[in-house]
Amino acid sequence: MPSPPTTEADLVAALDAAMFVAMQAEQRVIVTNSIRDVMPLAQEALQTRSPFVGIVLTSDRPLPRSKGTIGAFVRLLDALPSEHPEGALSGRIHWLGSLSRSGDDAE
């Protein structure tokens, strides 16, 4: 049995790992801008050939998160299934586009 987390960083890593496992069990694509936290989990899955549903990464620089950009996020996420047929994101990491591609202007 693994030892319990002893630092805040260990706790965050344990929670990220638990979230990653839960999302895979529910067949959900992970959408996050926490690249530093999710990439080690994705790399481990790729190295061990463990299947994962997919990861969609965002960045606050080209796609800032605010009330004014919710519509842009919805349009970009809504377009993913047509851009990537069912299962096409499986085991893959995708960068979500920028506001300029979504038709909105930056605030």
**pLDDT tens-digit profile of 24-63?**
899 888 999 888 889 999 999 999 999 888 999 998 888 8
Measured CA to CA, the distance from residue 68 to residue 107 in angstroms comes to 7
Interior CA angle at 105 toward 104 and 106, to 5°?
120
Tell me which residue has tokens 């080209």. 62
The confidence score (pLDDT) of residue 4 equals 63
Paired with 94 in beta bridges are 56
* pTM (2 d.p.): 0.75
Alpha-carbon gap, residue 78 to 102, rounded angstroms: 11
Share the mean pLDDT of the chain. Answer: 81
- pLDDT (average), residues 12-32: 87
